[in-house]
Amino acid sequence: MTTASHNASAKPVGLQLPDYPWDAMAPYQATAAKHPDGVVNLSIGTPVDPTPALIQEALKAAADAPGYPTTHGSLALRQAVVDWFARRRNVPGLDPADVMPTVGSKELVAWLPLLLGLGAGDVVVRPKVAYPTYDMGAVFAGATSVAADSLDELDAASLAKVRLVWVNSPGNPTGIVRGVDELSALVAAAREIGAVVASDECYGELGWGAWDPENGGEAVPSVLDPRVSGGSHDGLLAIYSLSKQSNVAGYRAAFVAGDGAIMANLINSRKHAGMIVPHPVQEAMRVALGDDAHVSAQKALYRARRTVLVDALEAFGLTIHHSEAGLYLWCTAGEDTWITIGRLADLGIVAGPGTLYGAAGNGFVRVALTGTDERIASAVQRLGANS
């Protein structure tokens, strides 16, 4: 074989990944689009309300940014994150050195196993019903993903290989909240085997009912909360995004905080890879984290939309499970997921199929609260007319 022919046969063609899961929704979206009153897309939780003016102004004010920002993030931003953790998440005394902004939270979820040095033979544990990117992160690193809600569910052989445990509370898509006792037990079990716990907490400010502090409930606990961590952040990482609570999904504004030794390594790795949050976005994050009023106002909108959607979906024959926090209602009609998706599409409503979140999601659909008041009202009317 000549060198030329050998090189041609070995040409890189990219990772052989599964099709993007949402592509399966194309025919249902087409059906919904034919509705005379237009489509109501409640399948993906992308914010639809305006980005608060104070955040837009902060972005504009920092637009003159000719130099490179730092991967670690400005000290002012990191201090804002520390202050926010103390004020909103019951996490006092966080060191600003142990905080780093990320380009949205999804990229960190996808790359964390690789950046932690995981590879073949290592196990990543993720919730049974979960955001698909946890699995993809394991794929990128060459590790194995295992679905379990507790380490007690693993056999001894798998448990010995666990290096990373994902917890997602409030959960996407289920909206389930893990309380202090459950989180602390998970942390203790992971520490016993030397595994890192990465807690995806992106909906932490969006608790409802018993988890809604504005209505007399308890705040959703963070993995860094001393009641969970025992006062030490060893082996713990908390990931957070401002996309939902501040309507800045387009800014890709998120951060990670926790174990100082892990953070130092992540910062160094990301420096080599050029993973940097732009300076104007860092400034917008800093301002957003210092203002609680806009978060409360946005939450009030979601609370009202949630109330009317719950009633309409239940009248339509769906039962809502969990959904104690976050931007989704996790529903079932006791039938195959795709039958429910089809029935909703016939009404011009697009929901998320539960099967995209793992085998345990079969029979469920995810309905997002992220529609305008007008679109939510239209969905409620359609559901009511077909109850």
Do residues 129 and 120 touch, judged by C-beta distance below 8 A? no
**In this structure, are strands 123-126 and 162-168 parallel, antiparallel, or unpaired?**
parallel
Residue 382 is encoded by which pair of tokens? 């359609």
pLDDT digits (tens, 9 = 90+) for 1-22: 444 444 555 667 666 666 666 6
Q: What is the mean pLDDT of residues 44-62?
A: 96
DSSP assignment of 277-336:
--HHHHHHHHHHHT--HHHHHHHHHHHHHHHHHHHHHHHTT-EEE---BSSEEEEE-SS-
Record the pTM.
0.92
Residue spans per domain, the chain:
20-50+294-385, 53-290
- CATH number of the 20-50+294-385 domain: 3.90.1150.10
Give the neighbor-by-neighbor strand order of the sheet with 123-126. Answer: 99-103, 253-258, 236-241, 196-200, 162-168, 123-126, 144-147
Q: What is the DSSP letter of 70?
A: P
pLDDT digits (tens, 9 = 90+) for 251-308: 999 999 999 999 999 999 999 999 999 999 999 999 999 999 999 999 999 999 999 9
> Which CATH number does the domain 53-290 belong to among 3.40.50.970, 3.40.309.10, 3.30.360.10, 3.40.640.10?
3.40.640.10
> What would you report as the CA-atom Rg of the chain, rounded to the nearest whole angstrom?
22
**In this structure, are strands 144-147 and 364-368 parallel, antiparallel, or unpaired?**
unpaired
Q: What is the DSSP letter of 180?
A: H
CB neighbours (10 Å) of residue 373?
Answer: 13
